[in-house]
Amino acid sequence: MKTKDKILLGMLVFVPLSFITEWLHLNPVIVFITSGLAIIPLAARIANSTEEIATVVGASLGGLLNATFGNATEMIISIVALRAGLVDVVKASITGTIIANLLLALGAAIFLGGLRFKEQSFQPTVARLNASSLNLALVVLLTPTAIDFTSKGLEQATINKFSAVAAVLLLLFYVSSLLFSMKTHRYIYEPGAIELDEATNIESPEHKPVLWQQIAILLFSTLVLVFVSESLVSSLEKAIATFGFTSLFTGVILIPLFGGAVEYITAATFAIKNKMDLAVAVAMGSSLQIAMFVAPVLVLVGQFLGQPMNLEFNPFEVLTVAIAVVITNSISTDGSSNWLEGALLLITYTVLGTAFYFHP
């Protein structure tokens, strides 16, 4: 068993601890921390089970399954928080996850990989497609804020309606991108797919996962994650007050660190193994899933739950997403990377994180 797997297995102890701390009504900070740490191994189990199921059901269905459950952790936490009425925190976690994936995950991957290899390369065509898709996501995030800024006396219901229409269009593009990558233009992504098969031992005859066991693990982990997320969200407001953090900082910085820790480690691991195609796919692909799938679904779910959520974000959040998208696109579109570019992304994330800490 790899060191990473041993650590994640050991972290499962935080799952019962999160329930015990809440049941004993301990300090909300303790409940928040234990719940956040419990989410990390559960997210890893969901990701591993999804990959195992994908090896059995085939590439097309497996790809769809990976796309659907790729950000299950963020989706579940956000829905629980949305139901609790923490709309601003949910919005902040969306932008925070995009920023963290583009700057922290990709930055760490490029930096650590660059320390071992002088220069690393990845598919420039895929990188350009991802960059264009991120630009579309940025346009959608900018538009509601721009409408509100340029229209005096605009009713909130108008922004809500626009957000619903934009959400449907984003989901349509997301489905189109899945069709593009898994069917009509799969050959563009084929090198990464082949490496992924090697990385996960998909083609190894000794590796034969039992389908029903993996489905059971996936469902059980998802169910437990729902309850852990309930503990996290229930302690969130009191923990924020105790820490002295703002809701904006908590949503943008803290929650994405818990929900995306596994992805950050995975991207860095691939980069250290000189599999930059996969590292870039994990970091940028996750950001696209958040923008094109998770955010639109949350808009529609929010209306269903009676907690109207729209795509109008805090102007500073939109600005930081724009910074992350622009700087990531400028680095990734040439299809090569080095450690200095990784350091640039990490320092940018630190600067933005510090700005969110001091932002009122």
What is the C-alpha separation between 346 and 75, in angstroms, rounded? 25
Structurally, the chain folds into a number of domains equal to 1
Q: Identity (one letter) of the amino acid at 244?
A: G
Considering the entire predicted model, what is its pTM?
0.85
What is the C-alpha separation between 84 and 79, in angstroms, rounded? 9
193 touches 186 (CB < 8 A): yes
Task: Report the CATH number at residue 194.
Answer: 1.20.1420.30
What is the C-alpha separation between 260 and 178, in angstroms, rounded? 22
What is the C-alpha separation between 217 and 356, in angstroms, rounded? 37
Query: How does pLDDT run along the chain (360 residues), one tens digit per residue?
Result: 677 778 888 889 999 999 999 999 888 889 999 999 999 898 888 888 877 887 777 655 665 666 667 678 888 888 988 988 888 889 999 999 999 999 999 999 999 999 999 999 988 888 888 889 999 999 998 999 888 888 877 888 889 999 999 999 999 999 998 888 888 887 777 654 444 444 444 444 455 678 888 889 888 988 999 999 988 888 888 888 888 888 889 889 988 888 888 888 888 888 998 988 888 888 888 899 999 999 999 999 998 888 888 999 988 999 999 999 999 999 888 889 999 999 999 999 999 999 999 987
SS3 85: coil
Terminal-to-terminal C-alpha distance of the chain: 45
164 touches 303 (CB < 8 A): yes
SS3 337: strand
**Torsions phi, psi of 334, nearest 5?**
-85, -5
Domain that holds residue 265: 3-358
In angstroms, the Cα distances linking 207 to 52, 197, 201, 204 are 9, 11, 7, 5
Number of residues assigned to the chain = 360
Residue 177, classified by CB atoms within 10 Å of its CB into exposed (0-12), middle (13-18) or buried (19+), is buried
